[in-house]
Structure 1
Amino acid sequence: MPKLRLIGLTLFALSASAVVHAEETRYVSDELNTWVRSGPGDNYRLAGTVTAGEAVTLLQTNDATQYGQVRDSNGRTAWIPLKELKSEPSFKTRVPDLENQVKTLTDKLNNIDTTWNQRTADMQKKVAQSDSVINGLKDENQKLKNELIVAQKKVSAANLQLDDKQRTIIMQWFMYGGGVLGVGLILGLVLPRLVPSRKRNDRWMN
């Protein structure tokens, strides 16, 4: 009887120390698969393992032994040390989300790179077009300069020709003027001699 009474008191104590909570989701530690037991303590037999990072439902806890009773995704219940349970999703669970986030950011970066490359290509195209226009204007300017130089040379040549013609005309006028002056001088010398002789002849005949 004392032994039965002792066992009964032990079971009562264990029952009393077990605290019942509303069912909460917990996550198994990210370390290797964790052993679970059939009861709330290290002295209970091993009941299997749970996968690291697996989400389980916390049914109740035992503050005395720091164990919690959990139910896995397959509906099996067992006890596991509370230190092996986390309130936040495990790294294993978060990895796919992080990978998705990384993929989303990578896609955005790729889109940004594509957009930037397109804008850069457009700017380079515009710059090339501007360079082409500028080079065309430079060529046209040089062509106009060359034409101006040729025109200036032609004007200079025309001015030289005009000066030569002016000098020729002036010389011709000098020659004409000298000839007229010479003829007038000759006439002025010859005519006076002719006129008096005629008068003398007229007088002699009378």
Structure 2
Amino acid sequence: MIRRWLSVALIAMSCQAFGLQDTSNLEASSSHYIRDDLFVFMHAGPGRNYRILGSIEAGTPITVLQRNQEQEFTQITDDEGREGWVETKYVSNTMSMAEQLPMISEQLADSQASLQAAQQETTRLRQQLNEARQQVARLTKQTDEQTEEITQLSTKLDRADQDELVRWFTRGGLVAGVGIILGVLLTFIPKKRRRNDQWM
């Protein structure tokens, strides 16, 4: 039980210290809010002894008009146009959690949508990458096959050139041989005598 009371006291003191730290530089503007307590009383003057004009719920946006340093009260105008004084420790420069929650929820929804879109884009890019890798593998295989076919054709062409050269040399040799044989045979054929030679 004592620990519970000590915890409550510590929380209250930290809230009060936070309130004093947060309200040290209050200036006249409309960007102020009632801190996230249940509600605060609005007085007719800068003190608790002044008449209570009403209460303001936590998170209500207000306009700060002026501040009483001695009494630690701030003159404000609420969202309903009421003018009065509230304790400075309940005035904050930070937007209330009640107003921040929809904005945070919207930002969270946007972040989740962006994350989902990024995940879908990542999935699409991975699919494209896999397809590109498969296409590269197919092209590499085709290139290897074409290279092997070109090598085989080059080998066949070289052999065909060699065979053609052999054939030409063979034909040339045959022609030369036939020419030699004909030349030799022609030397053995007797020549006919001319008629003029017989009269003499």
Specify the TM-score bucket, using the shorter chain as the normaliser: 0.5 to 0.7
| Aligned length in residues | 136
Q: Structure 1 residues 152-161 or 81-90, which shifts more?
A: 81-90
CA distance in 2, matches of 1:162, 1:129: 48
Determine whether 1:83 maps to 2:99.
no
Structure 1 residues 177, 90: closer, same or farther in 2, change over 3 A?
closer
* Higher CA-based Rg: 1
Q: Which amino acid aligns with 1:86?
A: Y
Find the partner of 1:143 among 142, 145, 152.
145
TM-score for the superposition, normalised by structure 1: 0.52
Q: Cα distance 1:145–1:90, how it changes in 2: closer, same or farther (>3 A)?
A: closer
Distance 1:109 1:174 in 2: 95
Taking only aligned residues, the RMSD between alpha carbons, in angstroms, comes to 3.8
- What is the 5 A alignment of 1:45-124? 53-56=37-40, 58=42, 60-61=44-45, 66-69=49-52, 71=54, 82-83=86-87, 86-87=90-91, 94-124=96-126
Aligned-partner Cα distance in 2 for 1:169–1:96: 108
1: CA distance between counterparts of 2:154 and 2:174? 30
Is 2:169 aligned against 1:186?
Answer: no
- Write the distance in 1 (CA, Å) between the matches of 2:103 and 2:114: 16
Which amino acid in the other structure matches residue 158 of structure 2? S
Q: Tell me the CA shift for residue 115 of structure 1.
A: 0.6
1:114 offset after TM fit, Å? 0.8
2:37 alignment partner AA: G
Between the two proteins, what is the percent identity of the paired residues? 7
Q: State how far apart, in whole Å, the 2-side matches of 1:180 and 1:124 are.
A: 83
Q: Tell me the equivalent position of 1:12.
A: none
Q: Which of structure 1's runs of 4+ aligned residues deviate more than 4 A?
A: 65-68, 70-73, 87-91
Structure 1, unaligned runs of 5 or more: 1-29, 33-51, 74-80, 201-206
Give CA-to-partner distance per residue, 1:80-139, whole Å, 9 cap, x none.
x95377356998xx3343343333222211111111111122122222222322332232
Task: Call closer, same or farther: CA 1:31–1:71 in 2, change over 3 Å.
Answer: farther
Change (3 A) 1:53 1:164: same
- Confirm or deny that 1:175 pairs with 2:177: yes
Measure, in 2, the Cα distance between the counterparts of 1:166 and 1:124.
62
Alpha-carbon distance change, 152 to 116 in structure 1, aligned in 2, over 3 angstroms: same
Cα offsets for 1:41-91 (capped at 9, x unmatched): xxxxxxxxxxx812356363475x654525569xxxxxxx95377356998
- Work out whether residues 56 and 72 of structure 1, in 8 Å CA contact, stay in contact via their aligned partners in 2: yes
Q: Secondary structure at the match of 2:44?
A: strand
One-letter identity of the residue aligned with 2:102: N
Alpha carbons of 1:149 and 1:59: their partners in 2 closer, same or farther (altered >3 Å)?
same
Contact 1:60 1:69 (C-alpha < 8 Å) held by counterparts? yes
Cα distance in 2, alignment partners of residues 141 and 112 from structure 1: 42
Q: Secondary structure at the match of 2:42?
A: strand
TM-score normalised according to structure 2 size: 0.53
